[in-house]
Chain A
Amino acid sequence: GAVVSQHPSWVICKSGTSVKIECRSLDFQATTMFWYRQFPKQSLMLMATSNEGSKATYEQGVEKDKFLINHASLTLSTLTVTSAHPEDSSFYICSARPDRGTIGYTFGSGTRLTVV
């Protein structure tokens, strides 16, 4: 089945630094990937839609200059949290749907970001 690999699974960084999170579709191509943010005991909040070869589409209220998304290939999307602050600490999850086949989405395992 479709597998999405997300890396790293957990990262701790200092305030002011940037962190890059990778989302890879291992056995399928995905023109579109999604990035979510999840606070403790809350639902997934869509941050942006990542489109291969074009600019990402950000949801209202999400700062595109702070959360940089790059979707350079059909199997890789990256989310970079720039100049991270403690309030950026959260669980970030990506998802992808195969360009062909099922309409269901597969989620990555998530990245827990802690900014100290």
Chain B
Amino acid sequence: GENVEQHPSTLSVQEGDSAVIKCTYSDSASNYFPWYKQELGKGPQLIIDIRSNVGEKKDQRIAVTLNKTAKHFSLHITETQPEDSAVYFCAASISGNQFYFGTGTSLTVIP
């Protein structure tokens, strides 16, 4: 089955700096890659997603890149703010039928 690895497990950045979280996947059939933000005691919230026919997608301060050949995708957060502090999960899916999650990255933005 699919194996998703996520790095780093923890990440601290100064407010205003950028944060990058990377994930790799093993199944070349995976074609949908969402990113979720989870705040303490809450369920994950979808923040951005990308499909395999696109190499990059951007939504304001958040962007995701996908390299199908290398089987890795990354989340980029620019101009980080304290409210960006949370745990971020990547996931890989084949047409949304089943999702495989990464192990999560705890992001801390230091004011």
Binding site for B on A (CB under 8 A): 4, 6, 34, 41-44, 46, 49, 91, 93, 95, 97, 103-110, 112
Contacts and interface: CB of A to CB of B under 8 A. Distances in A.
Contacts, number: 49
Interface of B: 32, 34, 36, 41-46, 49, 89, 93, 95-96, 98-99, 101-104, 106
16 contacts: A4-B43, A43-B103, A44-B101, A93-B44, A95-B43, A104-B34, A104-B46, A105-B34, A105-B46, A106-B46, A107-B36, A107-B44, A108-B43, A109-B43, A110-B41, A112-B41
Tell me whether chain A's interface is mostly helix, strand or loop, or mixed.
strand
A103 B32 contact: yes
Contacts of A6: 43
Given A105-B96, A105-B99, A44 B46 contact: no
